[in-house]
Amino acid sequence: MSQELSKSPVFDGTGYEPSFFSRGEFVAPKTDYKEIDYKNLNTDKNKKVLVVCTEEKYMDMANGKKFATGNHPVETFVPILHLQSAGYEVDFYTINGNPINLELWALPLKDAVVSNVIEKYSEQLARPKSLKEFVAGGFKSESEYVAVFLPGGHGAMLGLPESEDLKKVINWVVAEDKFMLAICHGPAALLAAGYDADPESFPYKGYKINGFPDTIDVTLPEIGYQPGEMPWFYGGKLKNLGVEFLNDDISGACHTDRKLVTGDSPLAANKFGEMCAEALLKDSNANND
């Protein structure tokens, strides 16, 4: 049936959303989220996860056309469902505290669990906290953040990789021995820590990850997912900083390297969320022993 759908990107008045063909290929009406009965839950409600999202919507493609993107709702909220089940609430941040942009065309419209968690955080999505203010305040907050989560969607490539404030947050995560969680294009935001810096000082040099491969980004315009070729590719830049990709396709693969947890695509959202929750709980319980 998907063969009958148009491969032309859909104009939204400013830029282009993915074609109906590509949505048929990549956007499912329901996720594969499975609730887990986690043991030894986090009971300290002050311990939370800091989620860094994009406040930008449009990516300027190589041909000058604008791609309507943002953070992928499945990659953002399925992992959050697992974090909640493990006892961790989240605080949403953007660089300047402007509203979060989600790829609304990627919503799983028949998944009530995902819809409900999005509704739960609707106020935060409209009025997230400011990463700039968080950094300026010396990383002080009412919450004790045990991890930083970088959701996917091509929006992770907008504003975040060159952010001086995010660079400081990443270095703070490493210095304080916290977890970094990143899925699909989320690892692109890690480039902030290598922006205009000596590659030898990149904090995740030598780490292995799963992420969305550049080789697939090259092919997406063919099916109208994007209105033109990518302006740049994040994977190659991370490799130049000493990061090793374990995948060259998308299969739902996830990987944990020390305190960096990664997943390759929306296909990984459920497994990635479970791995993140289990890693945080294991670390917390080990510290409490």
What pLDDT was estimated at residue 2? 43
CATH of the domain at 70: 3.40.50.880
What pLDDT was estimated at residue 1? 42
- Token pair, residue 230, equals 């990518």
Q: What is the C-alpha to C-alpha distance for residues 31 and 26, in angstroms, rounded to an integer?
A: 11
Please state the domain count of the chain: 1
Among residues 53, 184, 254, 276, the one annotated as catalytic is: 184
pLDDT along the chain (289 residues), means of 10: 80 98 96 96 97 98 98 98 98 98 97 98 98 98 97 98 97 97 98 81 96 98 98 97 97 98 98 98 84
In a domain, 77, yes or no: yes
Which helix (H) or strand (E) is 208 found in, with range? Answer: strand 208-209
What pLDDT was estimated at residue 3? 54
- Distance from the Cα of residue 132 to its chain's centroid: 19
What pLDDT was estimated at residue 4? 82
Q: Domain range for residue 163? A: 2-32+44-288
In a domain, 160, yes or no: yes
What pLDDT was estimated at residue 287? 80
In a domain, 24, yes or no: yes
In a domain, 39, yes or no: no
Q: Is 276 a catalytic residue?
A: no
In a domain, 38, yes or no: no
- Token pair, residue 4, equals 């009958």
